[in-house]
Amino acid sequence: MTTDEFHQKAQEIWDVIQNSQNILLSLHLRPDPDSVGSNLAFYHFLKKIGKNPKVISGDDKKPSKLDFLPGWDFIEDKSFYDLDLSQFDLFITLDDRDFSKIETKKNLVYPKDISTIVIDHHKTDSTFGKLKLVDSDSTSTCEMIWKFFESINFRDINKEIATCIYTGVYSDTAEFYTVNSSETFRVCSECLKYGVETRKILSAIKGLNLNTLKFIGKKYIDIITTENNKVAYIKFTYKEFKDYLIPDNMIGDIKDMILRQFTYSNETVLEAALYEYSPNEVSISLRSTHTDGRSVDVSKIAEYLNGGGHSYAAAAKYEGNIDDAEIAFKNALASVYPDLKPT
């Protein structure tokens, strides 16, 4: 998306916001720092311009490790079923392009008379959202929110907003590992001018108890690779998480930590984590590493599995057990990149 296109869409969204009062925000399923950070930054923004926003956790609980974020207590542990949606005149979904990724209960009918806005950095062909600002060139939705503020000339930034933005960018770029644009560092540099406490953010995102570290150490032994080590992946069952007393809201964190370690390999070009986050519900998270000049677009594998994402980071859901999910992953890999299929 060009700068002019971004600015034009931002202005259209700004016009809708100005003509709305009661605005609903929601975290997406298994919320990560980009989801929480972008929603809280937008919540603070809406309060500052005199709107009446409400932010809910959706179908999942808000992740406790992010309780340091300003406005954490304003996130209500409610789903759409707990609300009278007729009270809202605008719904803004951040960091998620599809309502089905926010609300999993199939029989919910979203009121057609409520305007909907989508702001996201994931590529999408979803029809959800009357107005969309989608920029797959941005590293995170938090980065987009900062640029949105710049586009509409919103200057009332404070430490609270900057902290939320920086946290989302930091996490969604795997601690800046995937950044290849000076624009991302510019945004973070601007955030630092407001006194963002980077060590506090680092400690909150990476902090793990000893029991969790023991579990991660054990799982490293179970890494599966191709014969030439170009692909590495790991599987987690829900039972394993329960056996090690891993709470549900830590499952995604463990997956992220292991995938980040994978990317430090100088041999692999593709890394994956298949994890059962609830019985017979598996998430397949994919990452790519550029090795020996080879580039793997993992979004193509995710799309084969009815998921999506970026060329360097993507994901898909699989309904079934972990072994069937592994077979589906292997089949997708064989179809998209035949020479990388694990044995």
pLDDT one-digit tens code per residue, 95-149: 876 665 666 665 556 666 788 898 998 776 665 678 889 898 898 999 999 999 9
* Predicted TM-score (pTM) of this structure: 0.79
* Phi-psi map region of 240: left, alpha, beta (phi>0 left; psi -120 to 50 alpha): alpha
**Per-residue confidence (pLDDT) for residue 94, from 0 to 100:** 92
**Per-residue confidence (pLDDT) for residue 183, from 0 to 100:** 93
Kindly state the tokens that stand for 213: 């570290």
Taking the C-alpha atoms of residue 56 and residue 83, their distance in angstroms, rounded to an integer, is 10
Taking the C-alpha atoms of residue 217 and residue 30, their distance in angstroms, rounded to an integer, is 23
Position 4 confidence tier, pLDDT thresholds 50, 70, 90: very high
Residues 75 and 39 sit within 8 Å (Cβ to Cβ): yes
Residues facing 275 on adjacent strands: 236, 283
Kindly state the tokens that stand for 8: 């034009």
Q: Any idea which of 67-76, 140-149, 170-179, 181-190 has the lowest mean pLDDT?
A: 170-179
pLDDT reading at 281 higher than 60: yes
pLDDT reading at 38 higher than 90: yes
Q: What's the Cα-to-Cα distance from 78 to each of 103, 113, 115, 280, rounded to whole Å?
A: 11, 22, 20, 24
What mean pLDDT comes out for the span 241-262? 80
Q: Any idea which of 1-5, 74-78, 338-342 has the lowest mean pLDDT?
A: 338-342
Pairing of strands 115-120, 131-134: parallel
Q: What is the average pLDDT score of the chain? A: 87
Residues 90 and 188 sit within 8 Å (Cβ to Cβ): no
pLDDT reading at 277 higher than 70: yes
Residues 39 and 165 sit within 8 Å (Cβ to Cβ): no
> 260 or 100: whose pLDDT is higher?
260
The residue type of 141 is T
Q: Any idea which of 6-20, 214-228, 231-245, 270-284 has the lowest mean pLDDT?
A: 214-228
Taking the C-alpha atoms of residue 106 and residue 328, their distance in angstroms, rounded to an integer, is 24
HSE-up (13 A, CA, CB side) for residue 341: 13
The residue type of 284 is I
> pLDDT, tens digit, for every residue of 282-330?
999 998 876 555 678 999 999 999 988 888 888 899 999 999 999 999 9
Percentage with pLDDT > 90 across the chain = 50
Kindly state the tokens that stand for 126: 């979803």
**Per-residue confidence (pLDDT) for residue 100, from 0 to 100:** 58
Q: Any idea which of 145-149, 195-199, 248-252, 271-275 has the lowest mean pLDDT?
A: 248-252
Q: Any idea which of 92-106, 148-162, 219-233, 273-287 has the lowest mean pLDDT?
A: 92-106
What mean pLDDT comes out for the span 75-91? 89
